[in-house]
Amino acid sequence: MPAPPEATTIKDINGSPEQEAYMKCLIEQLTITPDKLSRICEHFKGEMTKGLNKEGHTLAMIPSYVEGRLTGEEKGNFLALDLGGTNLRVVLVTLEGQGKFKTVSTKARISDTLKTGPMRDLCDYIADCIDTFLTEQGLEDQETELPLGYTFSFPVLQSKINRGTLLTWTKGFSCTGAVGKDPVILLQDALLKKHLPVKVTALVNDTVGTLLSNAYNKPDTIAGLILGTGSNGAYIEQMDKIGKWQGGKTAFPEMIINMEFGAFDNERVVLPLTRYDNKLDRESINPHSQIFEKLISGMYLGEIVRNVLTDMMDRELLFQRSEGFDAKTASKEISVQWGFETSYMSNIEDDSTSNLSRTKEVLDTNLSIQNASETDCRIIKRVCELVGTRAARLAGCAIAAIVQHCGVNEKGADIGIDGSLYEFYPSFEKRTYQAISELMPEYPDITKVVRLGLARDGSGVGAALCACVAARMEDIKSKA
């Protein structure tokens, strides 16, 4: 029998009656009960089936053109490019077989100007980074073109393993001249202009890459997830379940599907959205889209917490200790959109000191709030806990839906996960497992059946593996 959801008692806030009343109401809004979780999971599975059968559904369920399974014996040198989070990464991957690999990589920050300017500028910048990297590695004068796996972590409707059309931007990107275009062609043009000996042979979503990198040494891998700045999942589907497939006969009976589950419930049928979530959505650059992603990802959780805290400040329920102190004007930082980062939540949730001194330090150092009382800190910690727990439970719901959709056999299922929330956020994994076990109560020890694990460098090694699969598929086709 799974344990009940993590206790969210308000006893230990020890606040004024008004603070206690506010927290009680907040707990009700942000707690996803087992019942609610199960309703969301059922809806999620229904949406998966819809998306598999017809284009244009909220869960896009995009066929990745990656067919069949890995053998673990894939070998060779590949370049990988990772675009989609805070940094751009260029990686040289040597696949050695037997699930082993080596990587050398370089990282560059993508400025907000590049994220929101013309796509051509972004591609020129990427080509420059690849150029510098090739020179550093002594590969600039290669006779034969190096195959490159391009991890482009946005919703792309694929038409081949190295072709696709960008449907929309997410995660704060909004470059002009890219939506409706093929990201591979745009990049290849920039590479050609610089005469670089590189050919983009695979276009990969980061979740697909994560699945592949996990599968390279865990053959029972059925899915890959990203729980980081953004969120999404990919899993292995039977071709005969992809009703909308129009790509003709495939060489293998299975294909990886990029679910684009960040968009789940954009129509707001089942997710228990609060006014704090609605405020975030309304003020984001992509209102009404990526609703699920906005409840579970690193880019957004801090902002939800900020929305709660500023509301409490406006009602004079926080930071009221010193007389004459006006919290609204004292901390400019907390009044600014995105002013409360998800990493602050991690640090606050991690605070086990009896007087919450680390929480005080986070508030002081990052938000110039010096007058927080212990009650304030307890409230803030509880708000972080509520928002963080809700995120982990919803992520667990997505995982349970995938596992139930695929069916569990006696070997169980490995799920590779990458992303800062999963890797660093305190208790995230524990809370995710808790939700999965509530949804799959028939398994007394869920961790043996659904094995979550940190996937190693999905966007680098995974992209290289995808480039390798692309070469294998080319080979099969040329012999057919």
Residues with a known catalytic role? 171, 206
Q: Would you count residue 378 as binding ligand BGC (CB under 6 A)?
A: no
Q: Which residues have CB under 8 Å from 248's CB, separation 6+?
A: none
The window from 63-71, 152-160, 249-257, 424-432 that contacts ligand BGC (CB under 6 A) reads: 152-160
Q: How far apart are CA 134 and CA 326, in angstroms?
A: 55
Q: Helix 428-439 vs helix 374-406: angle between axes, to the nearest 10 degrees?
A: 50
Of residues 231 through 250, those in contact with ligand BGC by CB under 6 A are: 231-232
How many residues touch ligand BGC under the rule CB under 6 A: the total is 16
Residue of the chain from 226, 296, 377, 379 that contacts ligand BGC (CB under 6 A): 226
| 217 to 142, 176, 266: CA distances (angstroms) | 30, 39, 36
The answer to whether 203 and 156 are in contact (CB under 8 A) is yes
Give the integer Cα–Cα distance in Å for 347 and 350: 5
- Candidates 36-44, 123-131, 227-235, 402-410: pick the segment binding ligand BGC (CB under 6 A): 227-235
Residue nearest ligand BGC, CB atom distance = 230
Binding string to ligand BGC for residues 26 to 65, with x set by CB under 6 A, is what? ----------------------------------------
Q: What is the nearest approach in angstroms of ligand BGC to the Cβ of residue 159? A: 16
Of 153, 213, 331, 432, the one binding ligand BGC (CB under 6 A) is 153
In terms of phi and psi (left: phi > 0; alpha: psi -120 to 50; beta: otherwise), the region of 399 is alpha
Give the interface segment with ligand BGC, choosing from 138-146, 223-231, 348-356, 386-394 (CB under 6 A): 223-231
Q: Which two tokens stand for residue 50?
A: 């819809």
Which residue of 64, 151, 158, 207 would you call a contact of ligand BGC, by CB under 6 A? 207
Whole-angstrom Cα distance, residue 290 to residue 169?
Answer: 10
| Whole-angstrom distance, CA of residue 449 vs CA of residue 410 | 8
CB of 118 to ligand BGC, least distance (A): 21
Between CA 237 and CA 244 the distance in angstroms is 13
Residue 155 sits in the site that holds ligand BGC (CB under 6 A): yes
Are 85 and 207 within 8 A, CB to CB? no
Judged by CB under 6 A, the chain residues 291 through 320 that form the site for ligand BGC are: 293
Whichever of 8 and 286 has its CB closer to ligand BGC, that residue is 286
Residues of the shown chain interacting with ligand BGC in the complex, contacts defined by CB under 6 A = 84, 153-155, 170-171, 205-207, 226, 230-232, 260, 262, 293
